[in-house]
Chain A
Amino acid sequence: MPEERRLTLLEAIREALADEMERDSRVVLLGEDIGRLGGVFRATDGLLDRFGAGRVVDAPMSELGIVGISVGLAMRGLRPVAEIQFADFIHAAADHLIGEAAKIRYRTAGDWTCPLVVRTAYGGGFRGGPYHSQSVEAYYSHVPGLKVVAPSFPADAKGLLTAAIRDPDPVLFLEHKGTYRSVSGLVPAGEHVEELGKARVVRPGDAVTILAWGKMVHESLAAADDLAEEAVHAEVIDLRTLLPTDRGTIVASVLRTGRLCVVHEDSRTMGFGAELAAMAAEACLDALKAPPLRITMPDIGGIPVADEMEDAALPGRSRIVAGVLELVHRAGGRYARPEFDPAIPEAASVMEVAMRREHLEQVMAAVESVCADFPDLNAEFRWDGIRRHDEVRFDLDLGRRAPAAGGGTFTIIDYGEGSSLLGIPAVRPGQTAALRVGAVREGKSWLALTVDHRAVDGGTAGRFLGRLKAAIESGGGGL
């Protein structure tokens, strides 16, 4: 067994760079502040003194030039490793990654090649705001000819970076800032190479397949611990390489678990999760027990700097737990439910209500009371007319605590603590309304009311919800 030491992910990256520079004199580093400063994150600390200014080169502020010149170095037969300080700045060099590095082999039919590595720090959680927090994997995973790698553990960081430097093709190496110092682990000393293009099952399970990379692997593992307490055993797969994607490992897992949850910090639409969901739909449709679930940053214009705003934007442990619980306990329908979306609270059928932690009896009493004045919400739509019920009988759907039994006249869905802040309920056959009580946070909860529009118009639904809010907030069921 080779010697192993406990290193942070950052130390593992530095070791891979140093070892490869030692082994191969063609390996040269180019980037901003990588010399005397040792990189803004210190990934190259000490390398200038060890290998000299000829091989560890402080570049001018020129992201385009750093990557463009590195492309030329690679074409000439060197093994450049370029550093872009923050992934947010890499788009200035996108032309050389997308248009040049990725295409040189193809457009010259293999005559010229580009064994280039571009390392960059990505990811949020540091109050860095819109320009120091982004995840960029989706843009570059759309580029055939590139390889996109995102390690989660120190040993992989060393092994994958070593493989990337030795790889004959260009590799974008994404390092999550949140793993640099807070993730440590045993790393083999000396030669350690991990094959690119291979995902790894980091926690086996049978209820759901969670796919993640970078810091989100660690959030997913923490969520899997919580889920295990609920007897939901999640399989967590660390993708490690996004492009080319390890289809075999992913498909085998989803076929076994029947459920897919992708977690990424990048925004939702056209994120890498969309490709993984498509892969599951193409290869596993008959095995899927529920639609693929994507837990992502919402489609907002950037990652805000304020603590509360960034925390609300980025996915993490609790959202993964709540999402997976819904995925596992859903009632078998194959339609997709919208995940938390900040645009929805503006809809007339959603309202924020002050809510105690123990509130179910109170909500039921309020619904019963308000229904007396809004009989069409405790009714059934029939083509020959609306049939109103004399009394309210509840279908209570409490998720894993107690799924709905059926046979009622009004549905209340309340998955309790740890569930989504907001979910849109579906109206059951024979009823005209369903109320979803979102998880209580800071003494408040989102109520979402769905009605059968053939029986109840939006104005009526809104007034019903307003009266319900007043009834709940007044502390009792009565008015």
Chain B
Amino acid sequence: MALARRLDQHMWRFARSGRAHFAVPCSGHEAIGAGYGVALEPGRDFLAPHYRDLSAVLAFGLTARDVMLHFFAKAADPCSAGRQPYAHWGSRRLGIISLQGPQPNHVSHAVGVAWGSRLLGEDSVTWISFGDGGAQKGEVHEAMNFAAIHRIPCVFCVENNGYTQSVPIRLESAVAEIWHRARGYGIPGVLVDGMNAEAVHEAAIAAVGRARSGEGPTLIEARCYRYLPNTSNDDDSRYRSREEVEGWRQRDPLIVLRAQLHAAEADAIEEEAETIAAEAATWALEQPDADPGTIYEHTYA
């Protein structure tokens, strides 16, 4: 969580100062990715992350250097070799299902991956996270319906930060309780405090266990808040007050976590996170740029 926050801060500064294309902040969402990330087994399970789940992909084995290579779209970007903008993580080796642009198309892909695991006789669970905005699309209905019918071994997690970029949830859904939708599919629905890693972890353990034992999917709604604008191209002052943002700052997931640790321990973690993040950013910036000669590669096998 601390490393995700520090990387987020570095990326935000690079993008806002014009030294990188595009930043997609995760600040405020860290507890969710960390909470479920450690409930899964990298190498066994699959992860279809929300694009704010930097903490989850770090938990799954992507390193700070990997993240920064991807962020700068360098030749060695392990997620896309310079082809996708930041936060489109993916790694076949690590079981991170490549994240695409149109939200939330990965929900269908992940249901297919989860179903495929069962067809292959493996007991992998696939975690699927997406935003409250993505939750409104027909894509999610079709995928959840299919997963529920066939008890596909997966978990659906809606990360509800109250906004779809600028549009508040009340204009996205007449029902504020997204987790209530689970009843319509005949699967369990769970509401959890997404600012509290422990709470998310507990819900994740239960949902993953249920999926692994063949009982089918669970829908988790994790409530959280995004502290920074939607992306480095967004201006959130046009649609939400500073007072509202500051109010949520009091519930910062890193503050919640710090309260569960000794101060010295927390300080050491923060310091180490900053060292790793700064080193990764400096190192990645110096790596070879992408080679335009490779644009013809990988359209077909």
Cβ-neighbour of B142 out of A65, A72, A76, A112 (below 8 A): A65
**A28, A95, A107: most-surrounded residue (chain B CB, <10 A):** A107
User: How many residues of chain A have a CB within 8 Å of chain B?
Assistant: 45
CB atoms of A72 and B113 under 8 A apart: yes
A139: CB under 8 A from chain B?
no
B108 cross-chain contacts in A, Cβ below 8 A = 64-65, 67-69, 71-72, 96
B9 within 8 A of A: no
Cβ of B196 under 8 Å from chain A: no
Chain A residue numbers with a CB within 8 Å of B98 are 75, 104, 107-108, 111-112
- By a CB distance below 8 angstroms, the chain B residues around A110 are 297-298
- Contact yes or no, A72 B115, CB < 8 A: yes
The answer to whether B186 has its CB under 8 Å from any CB of chain A is: no
Given contacts A108-B90, A110-B298, contact A76 B105 (CB under 8 A): no
Mask of B136-158 contacts with A, CB within 8 angstroms, 1/0? 00110011011001100000000
Which of A54-62, A117-125, A150-158, A329-337 faces chain B?
Answer: A54-62
Query: In whole angstroms, how far apart are the Cα atoms of A73 and B150 in the complex?
Result: 14
Q: CB of A77 within 8 A of chain B?
A: yes
Q: Which residues of B contact A57 (CB under 8 A)?
A: 150
A105 in complex: contacting residue of B109, B120, B301, CB < 8 Å: B301
Question: Contact: B113 with A73, CB < 8 Å?
Answer: yes
Roughly how many angstroms separate A60 CA and B300 CA in the complex, as a whole number? 31
Q: Which residue in B79, B146, B300 is a CB contact (below 8 Å) of A69?
A: B146
Contacts of A113 in B (CB 8 A): 301
Q: Tell me if A175 counts as interface (CB < 8 A to partner B).
A: no
Given contacts A60-B146, A64-B138, A99-B102, contact A145 B300 (CB under 8 A): yes
Q: Does B178 have its Cβ within 8 Å of any Cβ on chain A?
A: no
Counting CB contacts under 8 A, is A274 at the interface? no
Among the 9-residue stretches B81-89, B161-169, B231-239, the one with 4 or more Cβ atoms under 8 Å from chain A is B81-89
B119 CB-CB contact with A under 8 Å: yes
B297 contacts which chain A residues (CB < 8 A)? 109-110
- Nearest chain A CB to B149's CB is how many angstroms away? 7
Q: A68-B142, A108-B80 are in contact. Are A77 and B100 (CB under 8 A)?
A: no
* Alpha-carbon distance A341/B155, docked complex (angstroms): 56
Q: Which partner residue on chain A sits nearest B83 by CB separation? A: A107
Q: What residues of chain B lie closer than 8 Å to A95, measured between beta carbons?
A: 102, 105
Give B108's nearest chain A residue, CB to CB: A68
CA distance A147 to B301 in the complex (A): 11
- List residues of chain B with CB within 8 A of the CB of A109: 80-81, 83, 297-298
From B301, which residue of chain A is reached at the shortest CB distance?
A: A168
CA of A287 to CA of B219 in the docked complex: distance in angstroms?
A: 65
Tell me whether A68 and B109 are in contact (CB under 8 A).
yes
In contact, A105 and B299 (Cβ under 8 angstroms): yes
Q: Given contacts A62-B142, A144-B299, are A107 and B112 in contact (CB under 8 A)?
A: no
By the criterion CB–CB under 8 Å, are B109 and A71 in contact?
yes
Q: Is B288 an interface residue, CB under 8 A from the partner?
A: no
Contact indicator A107/B301 (Cβ below 8 Å): no
CA distance A132 to B87 in the complex (A): 41
| Interface size of B as a range | 35 or more
A28 to B117, CA, bound (A): 13
The verdict on A78 contacting B142 (CB below 8 Å), with A96-B108, A106-B83, A111-B98 known, is no
B184 within 8 A of A: no
Asked if A107 and B84 make an inter-chain contact with CB atoms under 8 angstroms apart, the answer reads yes
- Indicate if A420 sits at the interface (CB-CB under 8 A): no
- Minimum CB–CB distance from B122 to chain A (whole Å) comes to 9
Contacts of B150 in A (CB 8 A): 57
Q: Is B230 an interface residue (CB 8 A)?
A: no
Is B23 engaged at the interface, CB distance under 8 Å to the other chain? Answer: no
A40 CB, nearest partner CB in chain B, Å: 20
Q: Contacting A111 at CB < 8 Å: which of B90, B105, B138, B300?
A: B90
A48 CB within 8 Å of chain B? no
Determine how close the nearest CB of chain A comes to the CB of B114; give it in whole angstroms: 8
B183 interface contact, C-beta 8 A: no
In the complex, A72→B113 CA distance in Å? Answer: 5
B92 within 8 A of A: yes
Minimal beta-carbon separation of A288 from chain B (angstroms): 30
For B220, list chain A residues within 8 Å (CB): none
Task: For the complex, give the distance between the alpha carbons of A330 and B139 in Å.
Answer: 54
Q: Which residues of B contact A74 (CB under 8 A)?
A: 112
Partner of A78, one of B79, B83, B107, B116: B116
Are A112 and B92 in contact, CB atoms less than 8 angstroms apart? yes
B301 and A76 within 8 A (CB)? no
Question: What is the CB-to-nearest-CB distance from B180 to chain A, in angstroms, rounded to a whole number?
Answer: 21
Known: A68-B108, A96-B105. A60 touches B299 (CB 8 A): no
**Bound complex: CA of A112 vs CA of B81, how far in Å?**
12
CB contacts (< 8 Å) of B146 on chain A: these are 59-60, 62, 65, 69
User: With an 8 A cutoff between CB atoms, is A100 at the interface?
Assistant: yes
Cβ-defined contact, A60 with B145, below 8 A: yes
| Residues of chain B contacted by A244 (CB below 8 angstroms) | 300
Please pick, from A72, A78, A105, A167, the residue contacting B111 in the complex, using a CB distance under 8 A. A72
CB A270 to nearest CB in B, in angstroms, measures: 22
A169 close to B (CB within 8 Å): yes
- Which one of A62, A76, A107, A145 contacts B88 once the chains associate, using CB atoms below 8 Å? A107
12 A-B pairs (CB sep. < 8 Å): A54-B119, A60-B142, A65-B108, A72-B114, A73-B112, A75-B116, A80-B112, A96-B108, A99-B100, A104-B98, A110-B298, A145-B299
- Excluding A26-B120, A111-B90, 13 further A-B contacts by CB distance (< 8 Å) are A65-B143, A68-B142, A70-B112, A72-B108, A72-B114, A73-B112, A77-B116, A96-B108, A100-B105, A105-B299, A105-B300, A106-B83, A109-B298
